[in-house]
Chain A
Amino acid sequence: MKKKLLSQLLFGLVLASALSDANACLTTPAPSNILTSLYGWRFHPVYHRWRLHKGDDFRASIGTTVVASHSGTVQTGYSASGGNELRIIGDDGMVTRYLHLSRASVSPGTHVSAGDAVALSGNTGEASAAAHLHFEAYPNGSSVTNPEPLFCNAPTRKSGADTVNGFPILACDPDNGQCDTSGGPPATSSSGSSSGSTGNSGSTSGSTTAAVTDVPPAPTISSFDDMSTNEIFVTEVTKRFSNPDWYQQESTMSTVPLIIEYAHMKALQQYIQFHKSLAHERVETLLAAKLAKKVKRDITPRLERQRMVASKAGSGDSN
């Protein structure tokens, strides 16, 4: 009897610890589960300014369903740089922020569970250059932390194959001649999530590879050059014309962001004009080709007739 009680108690304890472990990690908020840029301090090379990128950026096109990463109560808000924002105040004190949203799909005050649909991603806010989900985590509600290790499902990093990945000096030992000469960015790590790195480590010498293997997750950089023309149009147009908050956002902008917005609109206009002129050119070429074909079709029998007339006249003269 005692034994049974003890074993039940043990089972209960194991179950409880398993459940608490399961609750400790976060559900991935974006269905892509792909990180396009990571948490960490950045140093601007022109302004010589330090800035903390307080969260991870997930790939998420406009209108993608964003889910709650943990259970808690929803708050919504708006800021000039972060655009439409949603916060979840966790039952355990964890606070998470979801930025640049198109809109929230739950009302403030709603209690949600991990995995519940809470918002649609977007491209709102001055600080967003392309559609994505910016995700921040505050484990004790006040100080921000790197959210990447907190996810139950380790996110994948965007492939940096066509961009510099991380620090632009190769990790190599010049004095021993142990260098990667592939010309790419440094070999990045690690822990199963380095699929996004450029894979220079493949050609790196043995000692370098060994040294690099044990480092914690390294970043992959984001880039917007993988957007199709259609995606650029959709992003730019939707941002301005499908977002009911846009006019309000615009009215709160200071002079510099307004001038930047003006330049963006001009650039977009020119971009559209360029594509229109390309389309015109194509239509004109097609029309010209058709006309040339018609002319050729028309002129061949005429020429034939003229040749016959000329040959007849020639034979008449000789007679």
Chain B
Amino acid sequence: MTKKAISGLCLAFSIFCVHAVSAAEPIDVVIYKQATTQPQQHLDQSKENSVLNMDRMLKEQYGSIGQIGSESDPYLKDLYEKSAWLLLNGYPISGGTMIQIARTKPAFKQSLIGPYLVRFVDTLLAPTEDDGDEFGLLKHSQIAKRVLTGLAPLPNRLQMPAQLHVIGKLYHDEIAYQAGLTALKARTPSEAEWSVVKHQLDVVKQAGLPDPIGQ
């Protein structure tokens, strides 16, 4: 009887755990929720304007053939709109992550505008041969590489939240930093997993990069 009760308890506990993990909100939802809690002055460009500007920029400078507004997949369209809004308001990590999520979806293959957004996001933080300043893109990307290697031991379910949290800190993206933290907590990491994340946050802090100017 006791055995039966224990196994029943175990079953209930495991169901609870599975439920807790699966109940964790998708990362894009967490990012968007976090963005809507930001003070309005930090996101002064409206979503409509951001989408229009992004469409124009992608057409004129990247030779895009599609438009965000004419994306046929509603989920991808939503991700693209949120991404354009966040990116053009100066939140590169949270905006770029939306695109990184989009590119893993099967419908992305049929998306006309998606590849150009990927192209935009992929070059967004890549240094050029002209970046010689100590606190510029080159330095940030070197630390980002170190951080990503440091986060590698984490399991798959924690990878994106942890990266969002730590890389968000590195690039001063408050939305990404907070959203990463919320998403991490919802995925219940162990003590050891938390310590990996904290250690990488220390790496970012010890790099001594300056805070953004004019914020």
Contact = CB atoms under 8 A, between A and B. Distances in A.
Interface string B175-215: 00000000100000000000000000000000001111111
Given A168-B148, A174-B159, A178-B104, A218 B122 contact: yes
A167 B100 contact: yes
Nearest to B91: A43
A43 B91 CA distance: 9
A128 interface: yes
B53 to A, nearest CB: 11
A46 interface: yes
Interface stretch (B12-20, B32-40, B43-51, B124-132): B124-132
Interface stretch (B3-11, B66-74, B108-116): B108-116
B157 A42 contact: no
A173 B101 contact: yes
Contacts of A224: 129, 132, 138
A173 B104 contact: yes
B145 A185 contact: yes
B209 A217 contact: no
B96 A167 contact: yes
B124 A40 contact: yes
A37 B128 contact: yes
Contact of A169 (B96, B114, B131, B145): B96
Interface in B41-94: 57, 60-63, 87, 90, 92-93
A146 B63 contact: yes
Contact of A43 (B90, B115, B122, B213): B90
Contacts of A128: 129-130, 132
B183 to A, nearest CB: 8
Range of interface residues on chain B? 35 or more
B142 interface: yes
A213 B92 CA distance: 23
Contacts of A189: 115, 118
A25 interface: no
A273 B201 CA distance: 35
Interface in A25-49: 36-48
Given A167-B125, A179-B159, A222-B128, 18 more contacts: A40-B119, A42-B124, A46-B135, A46-B136, A48-B212, A48-B213, A129-B131, A130-B129, A145-B63, A166-B121, A169-B164, A170-B163, A172-B156, A177-B156, A179-B160, A210-B106, A211-B103, A211-B109
27 contacts: A38-B126, A40-B61, A40-B120, A40-B123, A41-B57, A43-B87, A45-B140, A45-B172, A46-B209, A46-B211, A47-B214, A48-B214, A48-B215, A53-B130, A57-B128, A132-B129, A145-B61, A168-B170, A169-B97, A172-B100, A174-B27, A175-B26, A181-B155, A181-B156, A181-B159, A183-B150, A222-B131
